[in-house]
Amino acid sequence: MKKSTNLVFRISLILTGGIALWAVFLNDSFTKVSDAVYAFLTGNFGWLYLIAMLFFVIFVVALAISKYGKLRLGPDDSKPEYSTVSWFAMLFGAGMGVGLVFWGISEPISHYVSPMGMAGGTPEAAAFAIKSSFMHWGIHPWANYAIIGLALAYFQFRKNKPGLISSIFEPLIGEKRVNGFWGKLIDVLAVFATVAGVVTSLGLGVLQINSGLGYLFGVPTTLVVQIIIIAVISFIYIWSAVSGIDKGIKLISDANLYIALGLMILVFLIGPKVEILNNLTNGIGQYLGDFIPDSLGINTYGDNSWIEGWRVFYWAWWIAWAPFVGVFIARISKGRTIREFIGGVVLAPTLASLVWFAIFGTLGIHLGETGKLSTKVLEAVASVPETGLFVVMKEYPLGTLLSVVALVLLCTFFITSANSGTFVLSMLSSDGDLNPPNSKKVIWGVVQSVLAVGLLIAGGLKPLQIISIAAAFPFIFIMIFAAVSLVKALKSEEGV
């Protein structure tokens, strides 16, 4: 086993290092190839992403209400390792990370100024912006995470298999193939998708932290500043990963949750409260009412640029994150029932995301509807989304104070994503060890930081994000077969 583990570790390092070197030293060709691959996948397989993500939603809902919902992820007498609050804090921090803060204001503004099939800057565009944000950050991504997370937690804790994604497929392909080429291929793909996903999120987080420091304190937006930010935060997230889940990761995740709740409450109190509540109510109504048409909506003959640029991109991005988030959620979910797992992983974070986007999305749209921010400024926010939070916040009472709190939250979200990513990478490259060696955590933590710096130097974050989405394309099929394998295993349960 040791030899195969080292093989996954070595191949993963070589693959990620090779991609990074290509991005840094041959940036033009890297960008052209990544754009071409992305255009091919979204243009030819957009329908597949849409169908797969809806299938994931239907599957987890059906499983939650089935007779298997009462099964525990572990022995029948097992109890959860973590309190419900800490469990939720860790899975929420890992699953959405810095994206909520990065896109909370900027994405609704983007849809408001450039909606699909209607004029921008209108009340109709505002309703479309809220509904679309709900769609992209609602039940679909969390159902997608639950597929890998649930299957892995079941095999890991109930069947005593290693904490590797390849372990899920033993009922379908047998133990020999799982421990052979096909199993190693799945695990290497999972490692690469995780590295690429976390590194690009680190890069986006650094850009927004730098932007916030510039807005608030006049700190210049330069590569040197960004490298310093990465160095400081890297020290914290590597320390927290090395400290383990019970200490470092849980501690920062709990703090992150309370800061996020505090910021949401404060922003609601200083924001246009009635508009926020109306947007939340109307947004949920439209989201649920159009759920199936929006889940499967793609033009056969018309323009699909908005659908490909937003919805298909998001679905591909969430699938790219599924191995990382799924492995981490599985690791912290021992002792939960399947029904409790799905409720906690799918419904609770979805509701939190909807409230978040109703509050922060309304802040920006309100300024557009009342004319306090011009269309030109809103379009600038849409084109440079890392500035959106600070441009909008300064128009409200206590804006500077709330921007500082948001900046702290950015850092804690950044750390929760990076430390859980580091932990997962160490597990996947240590034969699924639930408590991987600290040496692996340090190596992967440093690798992620160095990659983020290198790609910021090359300006290659966006192409790497696209490459990770391309690498995750096989995970559509891996996740569908994971669902099939889980059902096959559940049917063999006695007395259910």
Residue 462: give the domain boundaries.
2-491
Query: For the domain that residue 442 is a member of, what is the CATH number?
Result: 1.20.1740.10
Q: What's the length of the chain?
A: 496
Ramachandran bin of 220, using left for φ above 0, alpha for ψ from -120 to 50, beta for the remaining angles: beta
The four Cα atoms 279, 137, 412, 400 give a dihedral, to 10 degrees, of -30
Question: Rounded to whole angstroms, how far apart are CA atoms 415 and 418?
Answer: 5
Asked, for residue 63, whether it belongs to a domain, the answer is: yes
- Whether 184 maps to a domain, the answer reads yes
Cβ-proximal residues to 129 (8 Å cutoff; 6+ apart), any chain = 107, 108, 109, 110, 111, 112, 115, 361, 365
Q: Distance (Å, rounded) from C-alpha 199 to C-alpha 466?
A: 12
pLDDT at 464: 65
Q: How many domains does the chain divide into?
A: 1
Amino acid sitting at position 139:
I
Check residue 69 and report its DSSP letter: G
pLDDT the model gives residue 50: 96
Establish if 168 belongs to a structural domain: yes
- Assign 3-class secondary structure to 450-461: HHHHHHHHHCCH
Q: Domain for residue 96, yes or no?
A: yes
- Tell me what percent of the chain is helix, strand and coil, each rounded to the nearest 5: 80, 0, 20
Domain-embedded: residue 65: yes
DSSP state of 121: S
Residue 496, domain member (yes or no): no
- Domain assignment present for residue 400? The answer is yes
**In the prediction, which pLDDT does 461 show?**
65
123: β partners: none
Provide the 10 A C-beta neighbour count for residue 121.
17
**Mean pLDDT per 10-residue section of the chain, whose length is 496 residues:** 62 81 79 84 91 97 94 90 86 76 90 92 95 96 94 92 89 87 87 79 81 85 88 85 74 83 92 96 97 95 90 89 87 92 92 94 93 88 84 89 87 80 84 83 86 76 71 87 94 78
Q: Residue 408 falls within a domain, yes or no? A: yes
